[in-house]
Structure 1
Amino acid sequence: MKGPDAAREDAKQASQGRLRHFLRTLTGRLLLSALLWSGAALVIGGMLLSYAFRSYVLSDVDEKLELQIDTMVGISEISPEGVLRFNQPLLDQRFAAPYSGWYWQISEQDEPPFRSRSLWDYELKPDLTVRTFSLRHAEVEGPDGQTLRVAERDIILPEADRIFRYQVATDTAEVREAIQRFNWLLLSALGLIMLTVSLALVLQVAYGLRPLRNLRRKLVDVRGGKASRIEGDWPEDLKPLAQEINALIDQNEKLVSRARTHVGNLAHALKTPLSVIKNEVDEDPADKAKAIAVQVRSIGEHIDHHLKRARIAGGGSGQGLPVKERTEKIARAIERLNQGKSLKVDLDIDPGLKFDGEKEDFDEVVGNIVDNAGKWATGRVSVTAKMLPADHRRPYMQFRVEDDGPGVDEAEMDALFERGQRLDEHVPGTGLGLAIVRDIVELYGGSASLERATLGGLAVVLKLPAK
């Protein structure tokens, strides 16, 4: 039993496998590319909107700071004592409250600064060694841990040939909060838009690819024998494809019919000369005639084999063939053929199981393997049939026939599928049965294999299309 870690790892690998399979589909590719482009567009758009809002807010703050500098310059004057002062007070009371978040300061080289009461015991530290007569903005550390947005400019007043550095600053906490609120709102809006776009893309892809899924179902019906052609009202883009598929189906039917006719004609044309040769050599007691007779019989067996193979339909049978009903008839016939050893054929078959193929092909396959099991069995043959897990192309069933005979070495199992191969010449047969079985099963898209039977003998395991 697997532990929890192994089970989780298996589940993880299975999930990754399903994801890889989905991304290899046309639906997965369309959805992934559309979502990636939509997501990239929304991310870039969100970044541009956030940058634009931040620039607008900071520009508004900078305009207020510049206006305040112009106001300060307008009310500045030099006293008779040579001291800078304002000829009227500033109307904004925020400059009077300590650490209010709005500050001004006027600095002069080697002189104590003239500053607002709101700075209290704090002092801005401008770099007076570098002159800036044009307005400049910067962010600096302020009092009480504040981050200040500062506007500064060097001014030469008319009354004095001296350079003063005018600075006005404001706390950026409110600006940062406004930008953060906008970004959260923008992120929520973009997330909702992305969700809406994703749902719209899923619906769009599902609706757009629905005709392709319908076309696939129609092809499955054609392959399964439920329909002979692809019918329906298709979008303009798919009409040429549907027409070409129908043309291919018609051409394939003609080629198969022509090939079967040619094989049949050739086989029947050869049978008459072979019959004549066989009659002649049978009447000749010479050793050479006996050798020729052996080869003639081999040629006849090969002709019969290829005649049967040319007849194989390999397609569906409409409503399907009831497996249990047909197998019961074959089993009873095999029991009558082996009355001498009281053969018993046990059946374990789902009553609703149906073979998706032709009755002749089913009888050929099941008849061969049950007959072969009856020849080698000591007294019992077991036949079971069950549905296999759903396949992405078509449903299949497992048909298993076992006997309680001597069995076959594993090294010799593969050889039994070769035409004419027989491991015991004392048991009647041509050696073509299992070869024909494999040919028929493979033409139906299935498989045939041999295993050691639970009854002790040989088990033939078939994978056959089901309904």
Structure 2
Amino acid sequence: MPLKLRLKKRLLTRMFLTSLSIIALVGFGLAWMVNILHAQNSYNEETAKLIAEIPQVAAELREHDLIPDTSEWLEENNKQARYIIASCDEKFKQVWTSSLAVDRGLFDTCERFNEIRNESPPYYLTMADDRGYFVYLLAVEIAGEHYNLLVMKDAAKLEQEYSKFSKRTYIRLTMVLALALVLLISAAYWGMRPLVRMQNELQSINQGKTKSLSEGYPVELEGVTQALNQMLQQSSAQQQRYQNAMNDLAHSLKTRLAAVHAITDDSSLNKQASDEKIMEQISQMDQLVKYQLKRAMLGRQGLKHEKTLILPVVEPLAQMLFKIYREKQVQFECKIASELLFPGNKGDLMELCGNLMENAFRLCISRVRITAQHNERGEFELTVEDDGPGVEENLRQKILQRGVRADTQSPGQGIGLAVCDEIVSSYGGTLSIDESPLEGACFRIRLPV
């Protein structure tokens, strides 16, 4: 089987190739333009020189009787210089050829120039003698006569100079590209440093050393880091929610299992009645499991858009607690109207009443009272009271935290009241702890309707 080598995609490689391509394209384009401008500048300079040499050109024209001999301004230009010249009429037909041009056999200069005269200078022609010439057009008036003169110069020397200039230009361009490459590599690695830092911080988060990305990232990455931090917070919150749900489920099932043990130990019940009571507790356990799993998936905000009758929840809980704490002979008082509704989910109501009533039955001396009503402000109010030792004032806020317990002598994990406080907070309500007229603790829940 042939082994295929597949290169990994690298962001830096893409950046380098794209940036270098752009720099090279722009650089060579500029070099090309510089060379063209240089050639045009050289052509213009040579044209200016020829304009300065017009008297010498005119001297050669006078030598061939093409201009009058009476021009006084020619007297000072006695230097005889031979030029490769062709004189053209208005339609660029060659009407005269200088002796040097005749020697080289250049009799069709005007016609060839007419083919390229609409192009941009410099004008370059390869003539009949197989040599290259730069052609300079001089439209002049001498002694009242109009002349279209084409002055040609051998291109070999000019081409050599142009070649040297182009070589120097491209050498400088190569140096600039090399410097640009160094700066590009530096800029790329400098620009990628925040991503390397992000990678290291994400590894630290994965190893449990930190919980979120730090601040101070460039503006372009702030949106990414904020989104990642939000995702990490949501993941952490979901994980905490699952853990809390499992702890709450274990705490809730503990009371039901205690009730099952109490039912099986109750000799006053026959087998059928005992089985019915046990099945009732198992049914409540099933409801609790479904409720906690749903809460773990959605959070408490997704569970509160319901209304639940209170008495059908409170009465079975009271019967269960009577079985568990039957040796206390608790006097239970319930002041709840049969039609009164709890403004929330049945599972939440079972958690609230189950935890608060279980605490009251466990810590009371002999009396427990539960009251539910709408107070004068229109809020739903649920109160659970007992005649036990109560809660010291400095502990009333602390025991609403997970793992904190007021009574360290009796068994427990300190979860129940924290669960109640979380549920009440999710409804925008308050859970307060006061002293009861029964001389014990009074747990009061107020929820907006």
Larger Rg: 2
TM-score (norm 2): 0.45
